[in-house]
Amino acid sequence: MAGVKSEDGADDTALFTTEGHTGVITLNRPRALNALTHPMVLRIAEALTAWERDPAVVQVLIRGAGERGLCAGGDIRAIHDDAKAGGDASEGFWRDEYRLNARIARYPKPYVALMDGIVMGGGVGLSAHGGVRVVTERSRVAMPETGIGFVPDVGGTHLLARAPGELGTHLALTGAAVGAADALLCGLADHFVPAARLPELTAELAGAPAHEVLPRFAQPPAPGELAAWRDRIDRCYAADTVEEIVDRLRAEDDPAAKEAAETIMAKSPTSLKVTLAALRRARALGSLERVLEQEFRVSCHALRTPDLVEGVRAQVVDKDRNPRWSPPAPADVTDADVERFFAPLGEARELRLR
């Protein structure tokens, strides 16, 4: 497969081909679960610009190399190192990444995302804003940021705020990964196609538009998990504070609710409270662009907090799975602490989307 070449002539981490009438993006870091880097973001944006202007390209498809997933998210090791050093590389990455997320949502040609395998964080941003989102029995879709001392971004708070009832709040606070049926229920995907049929689907998309091809491949997924306890989720997560949500979950006569409470309590207390506030504000903001602008502020402020460095250290660098959060409990995080994440960055630094 031909691809964009780096200066030394080797294939790069994102490959771009035209197959019939379809422009195909292949994220090509399979050993890193196709984790997204800044150069990949820039090259994807360049390809979308070229294909938007090319009348021979009628639609775009994005997929991941290998069989483990589309994309596990941004390169959080790089973000960890940048935060630890007090740098600003992550801010530049997020600025371009969030612009790309907004671009995908408004792309004038069908944008087909094959959300096979692991699709998390930045991978959700590359796929779930598209017009045609395909999941398989291998899909595991998640916004797990609270577990690394961060807050859902890439338009994730916009997507989760629009999920039915309080399902999005549940996914945001717990960081839980969902399968195909639950991704469809939460509005994160549109179609289920068995993984074994993806090569055939991709081949047919080369010769015909997605709206003609997909009805021949889409089918009902196996039952999910969230629908069965939707009432409990709506009742518990409608509370105004993280503490009250946890109390309500613990009071339920349901092992799944109690497990969710303990999962939440293992996350960064600051991230939990900021995430809840971001979700509630996202509902009021409405448009994806306004939410991405808010997320940019939150992300930039999070870069300067101890929990992001500590969370990535515990989960990815040292892998001891024993983060020492600061503050250590939700009750110790004040309203003022939360409000600082939403403070203006100054006109020169703000993200401004049309």
How many whole angstroms separate alpha carbon 296 and alpha carbon 106?
19
Question: Of the residues 23, 73, 74, 149, which is catalytic?
Answer: 74
Q: Given 64, 121, 122, 130, which residue is catalytic?
A: 122
Task: Tell me the C-alpha distance between 41 and 94, whole Å.
Answer: 10
Q: Which residues neighbour 319 within 8 Å (Cβ) at sequence distance 6 or greater?
A: none
DSSP 117-141: BEEETHHHHHHTTSSEEEE-TT-EE
DSSP for 197-209 reads GHHHHHHHHTTS-
**How long, in residues, is the chain?**
354
Active site residue 212: no
Under 8 Å between Cβ of 185 and 168: no
Of these residues, 116, 153, 289, 310, which one is catalytic? 153
* Rounded Cα gap, residues 248 and 260, in angstroms: 11
Give the C-alpha separation, 269 to 273, whole Å: 6
Is 207 an active-site residue? no
> How far is the C-alpha of 268 from the C-alpha of 174, rounded, in Å?
11
97, 145, 190, 289: the active-site residue = 145
Give every CB contact of residue 315 below 8 A, 6+ residues apart in sequence.
147, 148, 321, 323
Task: Please answer whether residues 136 and 257 qualify as being in contact, where contact means their C-beta atoms are separated by less than 8 angstroms.
Answer: no
Q: Are 132 and 111 in contact (CB under 8 A)?
A: yes
Asked if 87 is an active-site residue, the reply is no
Give catalytic status of residue 350 as yes or no. Answer: no
Active-site residue set:
74, 122, 145, 153
